[in-house]
Amino acid sequence: MTEVVTLTKCEYLVGELNEDLQPLVDMVMRNYTEGRNMAEDPEDIREEDIRIEFTPQVQRIVKTLCDEWKTAFGQEIESCYTGRLDQDHNESVWAVVHNPGDITQLHTHETAEDYRSGAHVSAAFWIQVPPDSGDFVFQYHKNPYLLMQQTIKAQAGKFLMFDSTMPHHVTKNRSDGLRIVISMNFKFKEEE
């Protein structure tokens, strides 16, 4: 008897949301112009992250993505932001503005110190994507000797959801315009 057994697999989810993107672009650009970055140190990867408001539209997008994940994988997730007063909602939802020539370095979103309480699922929602402004790239090991890449084309209104432990980066913005994405982190919903 022959049997196929899968030890690990890592799937991602891609789709589109029917959202009015202009209010999101306006909010991100206002905060970007005001210098509302997550970190001031240019060596800190969070320096490129822009704070955004947790508006009703952003909340709706977060809920929609939670529903999309559950439909696709049968697993409930929720925003890492719980609404506590001592918690910064921008640890769970923020924006990135890529100028011409900008990239995002290879990174992951999980909390290595305490994976159980950190991000389990991450998402990108592209809200402004000029042609040739960079692509999202997963980097993964097919086996210990083969390093592979999977490229996802960015497109305004498109979302991507993936395991937070997946290493990824963004290629160089070769356009003359600004590429804007809203990034999000989710955690597995605890059973009650």
pLDDT computed for residue 88 by the predictor: 74
pLDDT reported for residue 86: 62
Question: Using one digit for the tens of pLDDT, what is the confidence trace for 151-178?
Answer: 999 999 999 999 999 999 999 999 999 9
CA distances in angstroms from 123 to 19, 43, 55, 101, listed in the order given: 16, 23, 18, 23
pLDDT for 83 beyond 70? no
- Of the candidates 191, 188, 181, the one whose C-alpha atom is nearest the C-alpha of residue 52 is 181
- Apex 175 CA angle, 172 and 181, nearest 5: 65
What are 96-154's pLDDT values in tens digits?
A: 999 999 999 999 988 777 787 789 999 999 999 999 999 999 999 988 899 999 999 99
For a pLDDT cut of 90, what percent of the chain falls above it? 72
Q: 17 φ, ψ to 5°?
A: -115, 140
